[in-house]
Structure 1
Amino acid sequence: MDQQCIDDALTELAKVDTDIARALPQVGSPAPRLRPSGFAALLAIIIGQQVSTEAAAAIRGRVETLLGDVSANQLLFTEDQALRDAGLSWRKVEYANGLAEAINNGTLDLAVLPDMNDDEAISAISSLRGFGRWSAEIYLMFSLRRQDIFPADDLALLVALGRLKRLEEKPTPKQARQMIEHWAPYRSAGSLFLWHYYRGAPA
């Protein structure tokens, strides 16, 4: 999604959600967050799991320097200890090797993911060890540029939605999905707005 697409989607959401209509002038539109597709993007998602944005960026930089060519083949040729020394936990080394093997043996065909619908693509990605629904949805939103994705397992989204809706507690993922059903078909833009709101919402 480019900036115009995000702005247009949020204009539509403001028409159907009074809380977005109230908050949008306060914090403005979020900037686009686009990533390339392919192995490197999926590896970056593994690296980013359960660490801060800053830590993930530092580890990703070291891993990319180590690999040179960030590809499934190159990762499989790299010693596990070297990946561990670059900052990956042993569990993430396992996930990264599993991803590379799945791509090499065709278990995950990256070329056909863009032709799948959202549910099919989420199922294909989340079938890999280390990739839950959140990881698959992040890939669909940022790498495949899907327009109607809401990663309801994302803690920041839940906190932001609770603040936006002036709830006493953050909603559960199931509650959140129900609360934003009327955002379709613009739930990706709504997700971007919630992350933006999480960082800049007025006290």
Structure 2
Amino acid sequence: MIERFSEATLPGLYTTITQKDDHLHMIVNEYGHPPLWIRPNNFETLVLTILEQQVSLASAYAAYKKLKERIGTITPIALLQLSDEELRNCYLSRQKIVYTRELAKALNNNSISLRKLHHQPDDVVRQELKNLKGIGDWTVDIYLLHALRRTDIFPVGDRALLNAIKMVKGIDKLSKEEALEMAAPWRPYRSIATMLFWHYYIKKKNIKILH
């Protein structure tokens, strides 16, 4: 059974997860619940997630905003109609031009259906999307968490998440393997714990979320 969170179920899930970990309970006591971090399950969301790869949120959003100004709703056909130069003018790097185009082609020729992915288990979604150039585990994790709203996603490749865990837990070093072991008790709600750690990090670092 695929378990998803929603605006209605999140408060109860935050209560459940904070009962498993005193540090998570501390985050809620100090900063309350995170905002509702969900995105629609569409091409535009995956393009934004690709733009967020290995750059600041501000840089990613600048490119996303420029692209929307150029074509309005970001659809596969609209993106494929843009030249390399036009995409570069929207602040897309050479690699991300390739990645977003490959995704657009896959959706345009129906080799991937986001509607079908909505009903597929996490591992199937991961396998399907990772077959596309430029989409790795981090991008799939963010998509599964924000767009498909799966409850047990732990994006271990996310630097902000690992940094937040180190800050909250008061540790200097944390490998991905150690992070996965630390997250085991949060199953099957690792997505909920992840959002709490992000919330803490954003508050502590005074990061402005632009979208």
Tell me the TM-score normalized by structure 1.
0.92
In structure 2, how many angstroms separate the alpha carbons of the residues matched to 1:201 and 1:22? 13
1:188 to 191, 200, 207: 191
1:40-93 Cα distance to aligned partner (Å, 9 max, x none): 111111112222212221211111121234211111111111001110011110
1:89 to 63, 88, 93: 93
Q: Which amino acid aligns with 2:19?
A: K
Unaligned stretches of 5+ residues in structure 1: none
Residue 124 (structure 2) aligns with: 120
In structure 1, how many angstroms separate the alpha carbons of the residues matched to 2:73 and 2:16? 42
- Aligned-pair CA distance for 1:201: 4.4
- Aligned-pair CA distance for 1:22: 3.1
Q: Which amino acid aligns with 2:106?
A: A
* Residue 17 in structure 1 maps to residue 59 in structure 2: no
- Aligned-pair CA distance for 1:130: 0.8
* Residue 166 in structure 1 maps to residue 154 in structure 2: no
In structure 2, how many angstroms separate the alpha carbons of the residues matched to 1:85 and 1:79? 10
Residue 115 (structure 2) aligns with: 111
Q: Which amino acid aligns with 1:184?
A: R
Q: Is the 8 A contact 2:27 2:196 kept in 1?
A: no
In structure 2, how many angstroms separate the alpha carbons of the residues matched to 1:164 and 1:134? 22
In structure 1, how many angstroms separate the alpha carbons of the residues matched to 2:8 and 2:171? 31
Number of residue equivalences: 201
In structure 2, how many angstroms separate the alpha carbons of the residues matched to 1:110 and 1:8? 28
Q: CA RMSD in A?
A: 1.7
2:161 to 136, 157, 160: 157
- Aligned-pair CA distance for 1:199: 2.3
* Residue 53 in structure 1 maps to residue 93 in structure 2: no
* Residue 147 in structure 1 maps to residue 151 in structure 2: yes
- The structure whose RCO (Cα within 8 Å, separation 6+) is larger is 2
Secondary structure of the 1:20 match is helix
Percent of aligned positions that are identical: 32
In structure 2, how many angstroms separate the alpha carbons of the residues matched to 1:4 and 1:174? 33
Q: Select between 5-14 and 85-94 the one with higher mean Cα deviation.
A: 5-14
1:143-171 Cα distance to aligned partner (Å, 9 max, x none): 111111111100010011112222122x1
Change (3 A) 1:22 1:74: closer
Residue 44 (structure 1) aligns with: 48
List structure 1 runs of 4+ shifted beyond 2 angstroms: 1-7, 21-24, 199-202
- Aligned-pair CA distance for 1:37: 1.0
Q: Is the 8 A contact 2:44 2:73 kept in 1?
A: no
Q: Which amino acid aligns with 1:179?
A: M
In structure 2, how many angstroms separate the alpha carbons of the residues matched to 1:72 and 1:166? 44
- Aligned-pair CA distance for 1:6: 2.7
Change (3 A) 1:122 1:61: same
Q: Select between 45-54 and 2-11 the one with higher mean Cα deviation.
A: 2-11
- Aligned-pair CA distance for 1:4: 4.6
